[in-house]
Structure 1
């Protein structure tokens, strides 16, 4: 039989998955499989999703709609939306996974603790799982699956706009946490250089005309202040990220 675990209210897919993982962890499973409950996924394909883990070829497997061998009748509007979401969250898997939003997945037992670290409460859980797997050196594989959409249009609770915003926000958070020097430091350095160049021009212009340009001065101060702020922020976040890695 099946053990059904219920929440008093809808707390989001991320919370539901963490509740499930917390429940099964004491049972010491060899592999954990997740799939959507709306009928899109075919349970008969579970053995194919398990195969890379059983063969010790992967620690995590994603059932993909976008690789050769997959079968899906996904509507055009949804295909476009998923492509955009995949593009926004692809960085989480460093580009190695084509279907970052598939809920049909399998995890080896050694990944459970890491999957319980996920913070996303909603549909961003898929993106965060991939980010944690890649960050911690786990092998991630994709296998083709069959996904059904016809007749199930009303089963999805996802609002495509809020779903996309949530995933883009999560992708940005992951980027900021993992690469603060790139996200804040690089723009800060560029603004500092622009501010210095503007300052040099301001002095040159004053020397030539004896006219002190207030607009150029404001641009110079704004660029220098913003650049210094971003650069210092990047260094602080970088130090915090390194300390976090050391003590985890």
Structure 2
């Protein structure tokens, strides 16, 4: 069984040595470990440092493409290399690489499709009180959209089975973290979580420049991902809200008319008509979006078959037997089973 550890990097020459030196060289159940560096437009000696530490596999971006694109391209290369499991970590040494051994065990023992490290945000010293609250709120929103109960949905320290990567299709270029969870949850994959303690902070985040920007981009990614799979939920609520609000002015007009109140009160009719038109438009948009969702499912089926034809390895797919009983225990917060 082959494990590929992919590390997206943007000018990480100072911290990358610590990351590479702490990646396990032997893991029970793993026959081969390959380190893959995703050079996301580095302008320093990141690539040279990686080569000095024995790394031979690279994905190069001429310009910075963002974390989402780096994850996508790294996964494609990992599958080309024949990876059975892909672990994604960071080049800033935020995560304890020695825990990769624990991270992959649920997949090796066929108990999970995806394993996400829980950073236990309350214990992260460099997180402000506001950031801890926002992290928890973000995880709550993602869990509602995905039907999961993950304590740390924003964690980028993850392990994916080969089969799960055949089913996931990332669109967002800002960050893949939220999107892949929502996709996996709506595709009934099993997601596990294990607690880890992060390393001390080495630098400021380069993913966003300010907290409002992070909230806006993360929120947009969550809404976009949710609408891909359950657009009818949003438009059904809009239809109901506008419909109820549209009936109220008509009811007001009827009451005033029965009382013979002076004045035509046409404004009530106009407002009610406008709201009911908006309700009808929301209903039509819901029907159209649901048809688009159906078309997306068919396209994803085609993409899945295309990936398996391109990357498939007979006898090594980790398609989990979801009817089997677990035969291994690991420290975890949650496992999503179907």
Bigger mean CA offset, 203-212 vs 161-170: 203-212
The Cα of 1:21 is off from its aligned counterpart by 0.8
- Report deviation, 1:142: 0.3
Instruction: Please state how far the C-alpha of 1:76 moved relative to its aligned partner.
Output: 2.2
Confirm whether residue 158 of structure 1 aligns to residue 208 of structure 2. Answer: yes
Count residues with an aligned counterpart.
Answer: 243
Query: What are the ranges of 5 or more consecutive residues in structure 2 without an aligned counterpart?
Result: 1-53, 302-338
Residue among 136, 140, 148 paired with 1:95:
148
Pick one of 58, 72, 81 that aligns with 1:4.
58
Contact 2:136 2:151 in 1 (8 A): no
Alpha-carbon distance, 1:164 to partner: 1.5
Deviations 1:153-177 (A, max 9, x none): 4354433222211111111122323
Once the two structures are TM-superposed, the CA of residue 181 in structure 1 deviates from its matched residue by 2.5
Give the drift of 1:205: 1.9
Q: Which residue of 1 aligns with 2:231?
A: 180
**Structure 2 equivalent of residue 80 of structure 1:** 133
Corresponding residue SS for 1:209: coil
Identify the residue that residue 178 of structure 2 maps to in structure 1. Answer: 127
- 1:119-156 Cα offsets, whole Å, 9 max, x none, are 01012x10111112122221100011121234x24354
Structure 1 residue 226 displacement after superposition: 1.0
Matched with 2:269 is 217
CA change 1:135–1:157 in 2 (3 A) is closer
The corresponding residue for 2:218 is: 167
Indicate the SS of the match to 2:115: strand
CA distance in 1, matches of 2:223, 2:138: 13
Under a length normalisation based on structure 1, what TM-score does the superposition of the two structures give? Answer: 0.88
Equivalent residue number for residue 107 of structure 1 = 160
Q: 1:62 to 1:219 in 2, by over 3 A?
A: same
Is 2:113 aligned against 1:59? Answer: yes
Displacement of 1:79 in angstroms is 1.9
Q: Distance in 2 between matches of 1:190 and 1:39?
A: 48
Q: Is the 8 A contact 1:40 1:148 kept in 2?
A: yes
Of residues 229, 235, 245, the one that matches 2:297 is: 245
Q: Is 2:89 the counterpart of 1:39?
A: no
Counterpart of 1:84 in 2: which secondary structure? helix
1:97 shift after superposition: 1.1
- Higher RCO (C-alpha 8 Å, min separation 6): 1
Could you tell me how far 1:32 is from its partner in structure 2?
Answer: 0.6
Unmatched segments (≥5 aa) in structure 1: none
Deviation at 1:242, TM superposition (A): 2.5
Structure 2: distance between partners of 1:12 and 1:156? 10
Task: Give, in whole Å, the separation in 2 of the partners of 1:174 and 1:157.
Answer: 19
Aligned to 2:256: 205
Alpha-carbon distance between aligned partners in 1 of 2:241 and 2:205, rounded to the nearest angstrom:
48
Q: Tell me, in whole angstroms, the C-alpha distance in 1 between the residues paired with 2:127 and 2:200.
A: 8
